[in-house]
Amino acid sequence: MSNTLDEIESMLQDCVEADEQLTDWERGFLASIDAQLAAARGPGQLLTAAQEEKLHAIWNRVTP
């Protein structure tokens, strides 16, 4: 999958804006991803494959 930082941040923002559709676990997951991205330095994989898959699953569910 391996999306760019801009793509991941855009998906993350879309999910956060759909807050009323999120579970508490999903809110925590998204907050964790946001913190991980803020701490990321240098090139390399931004998220694990499992994290990207979960982000995509949430994004697909909450966006039209």
pTM of the model: 0.85
* Per-residue pLDDT in tens (0 to 9) along the chain, 64 residues: 567 888 998 999 999 999 999 999 999 999 999 988 888 765 556 888 999 999 999 999 999 8
For the chain, first and last CA: distance in Å?
21
d(CA 5, CA 54): 16
d(CA 11, CA 55): 8
